[in-house]
Structure 1
Amino acid sequence: MKQRIKEFLKNNLCLRLSDEKTKITHAADKNVVFLGYIIRKGYGNHNRFKCDPFDPTLRIYMNVEGILKKLRENGMCIANDYPVGIARLLREPPEEIIRYGNQVLRGLLTQQRGCYNFFKGGHIQYIVQFSIAKTLARKFDISLKKIFARYGKSLSVNYENAKGYTRSISLALYKSFSRQKSFFATVKSAITSFHLPSYSLVNPLTRACYICGNPHLHVSMYHRQTKKKLIKPYPPIVTVMLTINRRQIPLCNHCFANIETNRFHLNQLSR
């Protein structure tokens, strides 16, 4: 069974299975922790429903304890999951504090929307929301109540960006923690329809010259700058490279020298 799984991961998902870290266990008796998820057969003994030994369904659960551990390590809550302010962010502007909260929310909950216990994500969001609010309260030395009165429940902050435009940012709070039943099915369909890109193993320095087409001479790659760094009027070779959307082309030594001395006209290169 382990060998079959190894072949499936390699051939279908392009993943490598580690023999040292992989074990075969019974999902109805023990939780299987994989990529931040908990995979379990049936409801198990961790749910309010009685365990059904004849339930063959594999269910994916959110690893709540693992997420809470990450929040404690990030300084967003203490041992009893009580949210606290983040001391290292006190010198940051309010918009950066809000942006950090969004990064944490998306990183912890976005990929959990298909889990059977996604309803527990409300507790995770509560910790992040109040941790960011307490960080702002400590920064401005005001009460938590005044923070929510000033910025609202979603902690919406107006600021001016580097270009002088007024922007607004707020916490991307989830309105519902109902499980999205089609979430993992959508991910699976995206994987099965994915095709690996084909790579060319041919050394570009062995290609034919782009101008004269002579395949028997040694070629070198001619590079151009990015378009925003180019100065108009463009040289003929740069105009051609922009037309074919190339940053580099192979040229033989003779054509390379002619390009460097600007001996080619645009009509010659276009042909």
Structure 2
Amino acid sequence: MNETATIVARVHEALRSLDLPDVVIALGGSLAKGNADALSDVDLYVFAASFPDPHWLRQRLAAQLPEAGAFSAWGTPSECGVDFVLDEQPVEIWFRRTDEVLAGVARALSGAVERGERVWTPNGFYRHTALSDLSSMSVLACDNAAFAAMLAEIRAYPEALRQAVFAHGLEALDFWNGNLHLDTAIARQDRYYLESIYHQVRTGLVQCAFAANRKYFGGDKKMQEALEQLGALPAGFMQAILPEGTAADASSAHWRGLFDRAFAMAGPLRQIYQQTDTDRRS
């Protein structure tokens, strides 16, 4: 057993000792997805019918893991976390109420695209991101049959969600392409406004790319690596999403080129979306 596996086993044992009702414990994050690096932490997800106060959880885990340190806790009993360091390895534990997770997944399966605000997600928190975590996590313990059934159901990308995410992703492109306010901002070289619009547009393109490939969007981290793993992307897509250079002293012509390249991705993405539909039916 390697060092990380030993840490996971020790924390798993400590979590089981909490005796949470109908608990599900899983290894998540980059370790579960297979793209961890030397800077990755250990992410553990805990789903249960209810939780005690997060500070009580912190105290109990500290008692169970006396060799760990730098404990902190955040959130509320319906969604909270306990973070600490064990054997020089950062560990993050995310506690979620099972009923809320199941309800959120049910909405996603029906085609709901919900975007909220979380301080740790600067581009907004797409709630269907949870399906990426849930579908990739490695379950260590599962005492909830409904949760196990949900995990089986989301192994295949739900078609209703795919349609909704793709349509949502194109909204910003369709709005800004040919928009007078964008043209004026380019002429003025209104950098802050242009950067905001450009990021909105490319965020939509990213959502479209994942949906077209029937892959769950897993958040903004390691985006280049995630995009490179998709099966089909339009020519020039990476350059449109992650252009080289800086926009600090960009001319109007530079900004026009950035937006034109981004807008040009809409048609090829639609073709990929339609082609994957055809391939699925054949």
TM-score, length-scaled by structure 2: 0.23
| Structure ranking higher in strand proportion | 2
| Structure ranking higher in helix proportion | 2
TM-score, length-scaled by structure 1: 0.23
* Bigger relative CO (Cα 8 Å, ≥ 6 apart): 2
